[in-house]
Structure 1
């Protein structure tokens, strides 16, 4: 049944049906801007690098969960990026499901990525982090961490990823984004 669903998707092709990793077939007509979808992996890479350089990236499960547990303003977080856990690791899977639920409840966009090595290379760590939480852009003036912020003020890159996330918010199968090789 699931494989039939994947085959029925006219605007995607996969290299592995079971993985849920999607490439966009750029020859089909679609209501979405295909140029944005083709480059979404590059945009994720850019926002990860930008957030790392601006010290607004929280890496790893321990630090991410600690931050989310202690913050009074989850709306200061914008994206939760993760490499999906191995289905055999039940504890990691449970942690992932609970964190996703928290993010969805607090309007933090969840973006799944395909590769732990590429992810850790982008954020410049030798650790094997499988997730990161990206805080809002520094273009938003937050003078005090408890201040209210304008929730509609985003950088162009953030807007591009928000549009992508909104397009896929209610998808039955959340796409896994391929990060660029270099």
Structure 2
């Protein structure tokens, strides 16, 4: 009886087969996920309604900071603490043509005039603190009027600065009342 040599069955893949599988998986990965940034959220543009939340949750904020906007609020700068220099705020900004208002000691609405920075008119200055508070202010642009509270609540949109003023005064009376928030 003739002796037939049997080849043993191979167990595993050859080097060439492994290279082909790696090449196919790589191509599928790069074609499928091209342009997708995983784990990185693009910052939203600063608007009056998200101004406080964006600044406090940004990488720039470490306890206390000041936002300063110039050039009809097209360019903004941020300063950590009170002694640091202002650095350019590089995230998108949608605060164009903002007018800032406050309420004076006579409960009258008055427009805030800030002065100049880098020889350009300042349109907004807001301070942010480590306890989550900020400058209480009313902002107005062509899209509406916004009340930004210092402590409690979310920013509110109104049709006029007068409505925002009434809301401010109403909330001030609640806070200064007989412990309503405690």
**Shared topology, TM-score over 0.5?**
no
Structure with higher RCO (Cα < 8 A, 6+ apart):
1
What TM-score comes out, normalization by structure 1 length?
Answer: 0.20
What TM-score comes out, normalization by structure 2 length?
Answer: 0.20
Q: Which has the higher strand share?
A: 2
Q: Which has the higher helix share?
A: 1
Higher radius of gyration, 1 or 2: 2
